[in-house]
Amino acid sequence: MSAYKETHYRSIIKALSWRIFATVATILIVFAFTHKLILSLGVGAVEMIVKLILYYFHERIWSLIPLGKKKHPLSSLPIDRKLKEEDLELIRQKLKELGYIN
């Protein structure tokens, strides 16, 4: 179980890396059928921009859907402010004492 939430930055980086691989594949496919490099690169450029935007929104929508996600057992605790490092250390020590972590 991850303690981290997917950030917008991470979604953007994932979308960019996937689009690079997928766009190269599209360019190669178009070139294999047409043998026209300029057409292949043009289709790849348009495809990259449109699908990058679509993928980003797809990722953000899925980050809101609870399907397949596990809820963290401490997520129901009401926290009024950001925890300080010394507070986190006290919590770690207590969880170790109680046998929840090593």
Domain boundaries, the chain: 1-72
pLDDT in tens, 79-90: 888 889 999 899
Contact assessment for residue 77 and residue 8, using Cβ atoms and an 8 Å cutoff: no
- Asked if residue 88 lies in contact with residue 96, where contact means CB atoms within 8 angstroms, the answer is no
Q: How far is CA 79 from the centre of its chain?
A: 25
Q: How far apart are CA 83 and CA 79, in angstroms?
A: 8
pLDDT at position 1:
44
- Describe the chain by its helix, strand, coil percentages, rounded to 5: 65, 0, 35
What is the per-residue pLDDT for 45? 95
Give the span between the Cα atoms of 100 and 89, in whole angstroms. Answer: 14
Encode burial over 67-93: b for 16+ CB neighbours within 10 A, e otherwise: eeeeeeeeeeeeeeeeeeeeeeeeeee
What mean pLDDT do residues 67-86 have? 85
